[in-house]
């Protein structure tokens, strides 16, 4: 059972209207399932879209933002639970601790880094939480191909490839995360894999 899902996404809305629509839809789908959302605490970009849609549909939303980014990412002051932390490291650790699973929406370097870190934590056995990519308009096709290349070239074990689930449909992605926990075989990593 998933009580809260962490959403990683851009502080920009991106160039395509599909990104905004998918952010709204994933928030509505989570609210419909009574699943809370943990996110980066900003009111701009896809972060703001997710938070506003979730709040409008009755979901519990927790924002986590470092004090240095409160003005820059324009902290979402309409949240019932906005947590201001000291650093990015504290932000990521708190978001991970509050969440039962992770979904990345389109975003930039921060989104990539946050998602890859929680995938690595699953691989290392630091948690067993499922990790999904909402592959809107093929946004993550390149990343999925890179992961598959890393498996083919011996840098990621095939059983660890299963940690990352990707789907273009928000409802289908949520169901896939609910159905299968991310636990990998003894969370083992091979020599040089990490």
pLDDT in tens, 5-56: 999 999 999 999 999 999 999 999 999 999 999 999 999 999 999 999 999 9
Global pTM reads 0.91
State phi, psi for 49 to the nearest 5 degrees: -65, -50
**Across the chain, where does the E strand assignment appear?**
4-8, 36-39, 61-66, 81-85, 101-104, 131-134, 164-167
pLDDT in tens, 53-86: 999 999 999 999 999 988 776 899 999 999 999 9
**Cα-only R_g, the chain:** 16
Q: Range with the lowest mean pLDDT among 25-34, 87-96, 145-154, 181-190? A: 181-190
Q: Which domains does the chain have, with CATH numbers?
A: 4-135+149-179 (3.40.50.450)
């Amino acid at each position: 059972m998933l009580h809260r899902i962490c959403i990683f996404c851009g502080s920009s809305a991106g160039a395509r209207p599909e990104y905004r629509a998918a952010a709204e839809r994933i928030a509505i789908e989570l609210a419909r399932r009574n699943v809370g959302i943990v996110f980066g605490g900003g009111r701009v970009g896809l972060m703001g879209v997710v938070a506003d849609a979730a709040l409008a549909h009755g979901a519990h939303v927790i924002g986590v933002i470092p004090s240095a980014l409160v003005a820059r990412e324009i902290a979402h002051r309409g949240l019932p639970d906005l947590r201001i932390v000291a650093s990015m490291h504290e932000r990521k650790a708190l978001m991970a601790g509050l969440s039962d699973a992770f979904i990345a929406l389109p975003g930039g370097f921060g989104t990539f880094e946050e998602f890859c870190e929680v995938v690595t934590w699953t691989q290392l056995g630091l948690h067993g939480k499922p990790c999904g990519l909402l592959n809107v308009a093929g946004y993550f096709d390149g990343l999925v191909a890179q992961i598959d290349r890393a498996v083919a070239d011996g840098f990621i074990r095939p059983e660890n490839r299963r940690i990352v689930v990707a789907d273009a449909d928000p409802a289908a992605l949520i169901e896939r995360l609910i159905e299968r926990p991310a636990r990998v075989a003894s969370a083992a990593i091979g020599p040089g894999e990490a």
